[in-house]
Amino acid sequence: MLEQLYNYLISNEEKIFSWYKSKVKSLEESSIPLPIYSSFDIRDSGYKASIVDSNIYPAGFNNLDLGSRQFASTKFLEYLSSISQSKDILIIPENHTRNVYYFEHIKVLLKILKTAGFNTNIGYIEEGNNPVPFTGLENAGNDINPEKIFRNNGKACTESFNDGIIILNNDLSVSCPKILEDISQPVLPSIFLGWYQRKKSSHFQYFNNLITELAILTSFDPWFLGAYYTSVDNINFKEKESLNIVADAVDMVIERISLKYEEYDIRDDPLVFVKNNSGTYGLGIISVSSGEDVKNLNSKNRKKMIFGKGRSRIDSVLIQEGIYTKYVENCNPAEPVIYNVGGEPVGGFMRVNTLQTAKKNLNTRGMSFKKIVENKQTQPIVHKNGKFSLYSLLTRIADLAIAYEHKQNLVN
C-alpha cells in the first residue's frame, strides 16, 4: 500500500512542493522561521509511515556519517547567514548531564559549526550549587570549556562571547531561564519552544492537519502518513480515577485504528503509545493494546509515568497510534531517525534495539545506532540529491508543524 502511495505522490511532486513552498513563504511573511535543526523518529510498517516523535533539540549529531556532517555545515551556514551576519555562536547545552554520548554529540556539533566558519563557544546557566555541564567526564576540558553566562546590556554573554547567535541545545524541560528573556540576540530554537510550555499533542495536531490538507490536495487517505491520537490532561498515574480516564481514551483510539485495519485488511493487532505530553529522551512512555492494560499497569510501569526529565511531574499524556516497524538489523527491530537543518534533511541513522520488538518503543535501554538503510525513502537523504521521498516529505511537514507551534506560542 505504501509503495503505491509513494508512486502516486511522485506523479504529484510538482503540486506537493508548490504547496510546501507556499506554507514556508506564509511563515516567513509572519517572521516565523523553520527550526534551525530538528530530528524525527519515523515508523514505517510497510502499509503506513509517519513521524512518531519530533525533537527540536536533537542530541545525536555524533551518529551522522562524515558526509552528512559536511552537508549539515553547508546548511547551517545558509540558515544562519539568513538570520544574522555574525560569525560568533554560543551553544547552551543540557545542564548537568553525565551522558558520554551527549558529550560526543556536542563535540561533533561544535565541529560542524566550526567547519561552516563560525566561532563557537559553550555557555551554561548557573542553577544554584549544581555543577557546570560535563563535570566529571574524562578529558572534557581538552575538548570544550563551558563558561558561565551573565547578562550585560541586554545581552547574554560569557567570558569569550560578547555578542552573536545563541543556539539552544537545552530543551528547557522545567522553565525558561530568565537570563535568556528579552535579550537582543537571536536565540535558536526560540525559547517559546521549550518543553516547559510545549505539548506533543499540539505538535501532532498541526502535523496531522497539514497531512490532511495535503491529502485533500492530492487525493489520498491521510491515515497512511499520519497517526491517530488524543490527549488527556490533569492526570496522575498514582490515582485509579486517572487510570480509568486514560483507559477510556486508549480504547477510543484503538477503536479508530481497528476500523482502519478492517478497511485495509491489515492483520496486525492495534496498539497505542501512552507518552508524557511534554517530555523527551524516551522517558514516560508505555505501549498498550487496550484500556484494560492501563487499568492493570504494574507498579514499575506506573512509576515510569509519574515523572519525566528533571523530575518534572507528568500530568498530561499523549495517546498515539502505535506503528509497527518493518526494519530489522541482525534480527533486531530498527527505525530511521532523520536530521534536518533549516528545514532540509541532511542525514540520518537507524536506531536499533536488542531488547525490544517491532511494536515497542525503541528509544530506550538496549538501543544502538547504525548506518541508515539505503532504499527509495532514504537514498535522497543519504545522497543529498533532493529527490522526492516519503521520509523527506514527512520531515519537512513536521518542521512546518514546529513553526506553527512557534507562531501559536508567541500569541499565547
Task: Using alpha carbons only, give the angle 121, 59, 118 rounded to the nearest 5 degrees.
Answer: 30
Residues forming beta bridges with residue 288, ordered by sequence position: 272
* Average confidence score pLDDT of the chain: 93
Kindly report the number of other CB atoms within 10 A of residue 201's CB atom: 20
CA–chain centroid gap for 243, Å, is 27
Give the pLDDT confidence score for residue 310 in this predicted structure.
63
- What is the structure's pLDDT at 340? 98
Q: How distant, in Å, are the alpha carbons of 245, 248, 273, 310, 321 from that of 317?
A: 11, 13, 10, 17, 13
Of 42-46, 96-100, 176-180, 197-201, the one with minimum mean pLDDT is: 96-100
CA angle 193, 199, 204 (to 5 degrees): 105
Handedness of CA 407, 409, 410, 412 (dihedral sign): positive
**pLDDT in the model for residue 21:** 97
pLDDT at 145: 84
Grid cell in block for residue 67 = 558526509
User: Confidence band (pLDDT; 50, 70, 90) for 139?
Assistant: very low
Across the range 383-404, mean pLDDT stands at 95
Residue ranges per structural domain of the chain? 1-56+325-412, 65-193, 228-322
Three cell numbers written together for 68: 552528512
Helices (H), 200-296: 200-218, 240-263, 291-295
- Tens digits of residue pLDDT in 298-347: 988 888 888 776 667 889 999 999 999 999 999 999 999 999 999 999 99
Dist CA 379 CA 373 (whole Å): 8
Residue 107: CB atoms within 10 Å: 15
- Cα–Cα distance for residue pair 59/388, rounded to 1 Å: 26
Domain at 228-322: CATH code: 3.30.1490
Instruction: State yes or no: pLDDT of 379 exceeds 90.
Output: yes
Could you check whether the bond before residue 58 is cis, i.e. omega within 30 degrees of 0?
no
Return the C-alpha torsion angle 356, 362, 368, 373, nearest 10: 100
Domain 65-193: give its CATH code.
3.40.50.11280
Mean pLDDT of 105-119: 97
pLDDT at 138 over 60: no
pLDDT on residue 36: 98
Task: Give the residue-averaged pLDDT of 368-395.
Answer: 95
Q: Is the pLDDT of residue 146 over 60?
A: yes
Residue keyed to cell 495536531: 205
User: What was the pLDDT predicted at 132?
Assistant: 67
The per-residue pLDDT for 52 is: 97
Q: Identify the pLDDT of residue 89.
A: 98
| Mean pLDDT confidence for 51-72 | 97
Partners of 352 in beta bridges: 334, 368
Strand, helix or coil at 83? Answer: helix
Whether the predicted pLDDT of 398 surpasses 70: yes
Residue 29 confidence (pLDDT) above 60: yes
With 90 as the cut, is the pLDDT of residue 381 above it?
A: yes
